Amino acid sequence: MTALLEITRLDKTFETSKGATQALRDIRLTVKEGEFLTVIGPSGCGKSTLLKIVAGLDTEYAGSVQLAGQPVSGPGIDKGFIFQEPRLFPWLTVEKNIAANLSLKNPAIRERVDELIQLVRLGGFAKSYPRELSGGMAQRVAIARALLRNPRVLLLDEPFGALDAFTRSHMQEVLLDIWQENKTTMIFVTHDIDEAIYLANRVVIMNAHPGSIKRIVPVDLPFPRKKANRSFQELRHLVLNEFEKVDELELVDSSGI
């Protein structure tokens, strides 16, 4: 896999009424084409800030961020962004939410929207409205909408954080299916250690105050993965051991051990 995203010596500082606060310090990261990367760390470590910079939603920083060899200077269709909330248009149906400002009268758009509805497992719900969908279904619509533009990278900021455990597990499977089908490069921010390992080729572990990369852990487990397997649990404990005071972090220990 070739390098798609190159982040070099990235620093981000916010100016507040109490003075300057450094949110990110010396972030250096290379993401390969087709890779699934998860980012995990305590609240306030700059995970979401990093994602917004990659998306081009925040351009006030020091350092270099390049996508496909070009500097990231603002948002664009080459970067899809999924928030924790689906942010659907309540007056539009599923298919029209996915198409957004593109016309379903265009045969190519019509065909692609229909393909995406099947890909995100929403067959039979094309004419439904957001009020008729569950939280997980609404988030699948948001993912399909982002994929319609064929982004080079899909950025996901805790997209399953508000879902119940069963729906969250189902959405993880849906997202893996999408990734394996499309091979879209994905960067996924989460607080859930098990989720981070279950999805990723690599897990980026961040420190806080200011946010920096502590370690990058390769996940060489074959798909489909079993969270109860010994190899999975060994990786999970390795990630936990990277934090000196795990009980003070807002990380989810979803296995209960």
Tens-place pLDDT, residues 48-85: 999 999 999 999 999 999 999 999 989 999 999 998 88
Section 18-31 average pLDDT: 91
Q: What is the model's pLDDT at position 252?
A: 52
Residue 249 confidence (pLDDT): 47
pLDDT of residue 257: 41
User: Angle at CA 223, nearest 5°, toward 194 and 219?
Assistant: 55
| This model's pTM is above 0.85 | yes
DSSP state letter for 246: G
Amino acid at 50: L
**pLDDT confidence band for 2 (50 / 70 / 90):** confident
The sign one gets for the Cα dihedral 26, 32, 34, 40 is: negative
Task: Specify the pLDDT at position 243.
Answer: 67
> What six digits make up the tokens of 220?
């060489």
- Residue ranges of domains in the chain: 3-78+154-248, 90-150
| Class of domain 3-78+154-248 (CATH, top level) | alpha beta
Signed CA dihedral, 186, 188, 193, 199: sign only: negative
CA–CA separation, 123 vs 118, rounded Å? Answer: 5
